[in-house]
Structure 1
Amino acid sequence: MRSQRGWFLLFLLVEGVVALYVTFGRAGFDPLTGLLVLAPAMGLASVAYRFQCDQERELSRVRQIAELAQQAIVRPLPPRLGGMSLAVHTRSATDQALIGGDLHDALVAPTGVRLIVGDVKGKGMEAVRLSAVVLASFRRHAPDVPDLVTLATALDADLVPHLGEEDFVTVLLAEFVPGEVRLVNCGHPAPLRIGHRLEALEPPEPSPPLGLGPEPRLRRAGLGLSQRLLLYTDGLSEARDADGVEFPLDRHVRHALAAPGLDHALPNLLDLLDEHAGDLRDDLTLLLVQPVPAPDPAERAAGPEPDGPAATALPADSRKDGF
């Protein structure tokens, strides 16, 4: 791109010389006089071009620093964590950004695997800053607090001093124990349980987001080896087509997410989303989770497989029951 601009600038200068020559020549003036008039303009154009190149180099440097900072904020998750298989996809609506206002993380606590998915109101670096505050608080408190309600309260207390008057963060907290998932939802889209049907696990009572006086309530739901859980941000549920119709969370989504292997399921969902909405106008985070069977004693003695055991295939679609 920079070389193209250089050639374009040279082309304009040559065109200017020719135009002055023709104009001054026909009027009876010395063409050298015209070149002397043009010379300062050529110098200014050269200075402007060098300034633009310097600005582009500085912008590239800033983008590299921002990319490293964002990678430090949202760390990659392993495909296997504490008896759970994980698959993650993130997409920022902001050009040149790895993340925006979305956040996610997971860790192993004494009670089980704990996971967070959230969405900061707004975009840009301010949203990234608030994401960093929430994730730092999650990493500090999640390994030790006794339950998710206490964890949500701690996150809110840490976040409030950093918020403006209209700022808030929606958050979904999940804790996985054998056969069960425990959820606390503060203003976030409800996760989807995928099994014989697609089911939104709504909170027992709605709670405001963090920063707006949340009232977290615990929900417990079964999650067997043949079921998956999709946690996501509103970049999925509020994606609209050209007619303004939101992305439907229907049996097609259930079929896509029931594909063998989590690494196939999320691409299937993204294909549906891109077909429906095209370019996204909001950040998107998708986190698909499934329990995996514990190895038997013989397998445990032999050592784990490199990536852990594969997730169990989901049952066939059952349209008579929900989605």
Structure 2
Amino acid sequence: MPGLGVPVPRRAASQLAAGMPVVPVLIVSGIALVDVIAGSGMFWLPLLAAGPALAASTNGPRGVLCVGFLAAVLGASRGVEEAGLGRETAAVLSALLAVTLASALASALRGRRERVLAAVRSVAEAAQHAVLKPIPETVGPFRVAVRYSAAAAEARIGGDLYALVPTPHGIRLIVGDVRGKGLPAVEIAALVLGVFREAAYDEPDLLAVVGRIERSLARNLGPDDFVTAVVVGHPRPGQLEVVNCGHAPPLLIPASGGVSAVEATRPAPPLGLRGLVDEPPCLEILPFSDGDQLLLYTDGVIEARDRAHEFYPLAERVARHLSDEPEDVLSAIHDELLTHVGGRLHDDAALLLLRMQAVGEGEPVASAQRARETALPESEGPEKPEGPEGPEEPEGREAVPVVSRSRSAAVGTEGGRRTDAAFSAGLGR
């Protein structure tokens, strides 16, 4: 074609060479060479069919046909040289033709299955982002890190669940584990997270949030299904609220050092089994100040075993990897966990580490926000009320209260990364 600068035959040859499988070509050439050196007649020629058969496992139909054509040419030349155009040569060529066509068909079917699998994986990834929404590294006064591994091969999501939601009642989060695995567990996890995200905004009381989840599960779960979960709230500075429903106790890591389990004062059954007891779960109040950390996890972490059937000692190992960066802590724990089990987990595993930022750690974001507020012209700012009670409303019309937007509700970014304010605004839509 004019204007391309490369002759058509040369371009076609380069495309053909790019699609030619190297290993099958070497195998076919090697078999032909052995037949020439051995001089054993037609003995080695049927093995030429191994070339296109092997090419079907790694190449497309075009590559298979190229290898089959090469094998047919070599087989025909050697067959004519050794036995002429007789029955033996015809049988070898017929076998090569049949194997080549069958291999090309198998290669086409394999390529189709791979495309379908790629589409399924993309859907699974979209489902993961819809169910387990990404959590920013900074949310309000907290630094957050998450690690999740599904036990099912090639899976991106399983029965473990987590979510963090900034709400008018403070930041709230949940970490849980659905009984079972596979798609049924994913469906229940999606149900729990959907109810939690809605109730976290609506209910001012954390126990009421848990009650909403319990009532929804009671209507939708089977008789043998349940969900263990820990629900955490941050209603005011210096304090955390924890409700544990049959889940593994979170690990509290004070800034002063040490690791302690947050055991429930009164154990509660998992979500979905509230009908077994009359008492509601207990609300634990924890002091949580600057530099303190809280690690939430699922049983896939603490029940992971090595070859000696020893459980992974999470509390002991997390003490080794303490750092001011939650992401570094979870990366070290996750890598060590995989090493402990020999490279593959046999159950879903989730880790969520929450760290209260020390004074000054969030100063760049706050400074940028103050700079934006200062730069606003007076004409763009909120209207000042007239008098101590504000402007008078027309007679017969109720006064509309003025709702001020807190600083944490503003939308901002830092270094191209979403801040907690942007995260709050995105979830609120």
Settle same-fold status: TM greater than 0.5: yes
SS in structure 1 of the partner of residue 175 of structure 2: strand
Q: 2:319 maps to which residue?
A: 254
Instruction: Give the helix-richer structure, 1 or 2.
Output: 2
Q: 1:50 maps to which residue?
A: 108
Structure 1 unmatched runs, 5+: 310-323
1:158-169 matches, cutoff 5 A: 158-169=216-227
Provide the alpha-carbon RMSD of the alignment.
Answer: 3.4
SS in structure 2 of the partner of residue 4 of structure 1: coil
SS in structure 2 of the partner of residue 126 of structure 1: helix
Q: Does 1:210 align with 2:271?
A: yes
CA contact (8 A) 1:82 1:112 kept: no
Question: How has the CA–CA distance of structure 1 residues 54 and 240 changed in structure 2, closer, same or farther, with 3 Å as cutoff?
Answer: same
Separation (CA, whole Å) in 1 of partners of 2:153 and 2:182? 10
Q: 2:240 maps to which residue?
A: 181
**Aligned AA (1:130):** I
Deviations 1:1-42 (A, max 9, x none): 977255689768949x96xx69xx69x845325544664554
1:29-44 matches, cutoff 5 A: 29-33=87-91, 35-36=93-94, 39-40=97-98, 42-44=100-102
Quote the offset at 1:147 in angstroms: 1.7
Q: Does 1:61 align with 2:97?
A: no
CA contact (8 A) 2:298 2:350 kept: yes
Q: State percent identity of aligned pairs.
A: 36
Q: Does 1:231 align with 2:296?
A: yes
SS in structure 1 of the partner of residue 201 of structure 2: coil
Deviations 1:52-95 (A, max 9, x none): 22122112111111211211211111122222221112222223
Instruction: Give the strand-richer structure, 1 or 2.
Output: 1
CA contact (8 A) 2:64 2:103 kept: no
Q: 1:132 maps to which residue?
A: 190
Separation (CA, whole Å) in 1 of partners of 2:281 and 2:307? 36
Separation (CA, whole Å) in 1 of partners of 2:331 and 2:98? 57
CA contact (8 A) 1:100 1:283 kept: yes
Q: 1:291 maps to which residue?
A: 356
In our comparison, the structure showing a higher alpha carbon Rg is 2
Q: 1:190 maps to which residue?
A: 249
Q: How many residues align?
A: 304
**Aligned AA (1:245):** E
Quote the offset at 1:145 in angstroms: 1.0
Separation (CA, whole Å) in 1 of partners of 2:284 and 2:309? 33
Of residues 214-223 and 199-208 in structure 1, the stretch that sits farther from structure 2 once superposed is: 214-223
Match of 1:219 among 284, 303, 309: 284
Of residues 111-120 and 287-296 in structure 1, the stretch that sits farther from structure 2 once superposed is: 287-296
Q: 1:90 maps to which residue?
A: 148
**Aligned AA (1:147):** D
Separation (CA, whole Å) in 1 of partners of 2:122 and 2:208? 37
Question: How has the CA–CA distance of structure 1 residues 291 and 107 changed in structure 2, closer, same or farther, with 3 Å as cutoff?
Answer: same
Structure with more relative contact order (C-alpha pairs < 8 Å, separation 6 or more) = 1
Q: 1:265 maps to which residue?
A: 329
Q: Does 1:4 align with 2:58?
A: yes
Match of 2:370 among 277, 301, 313: 301
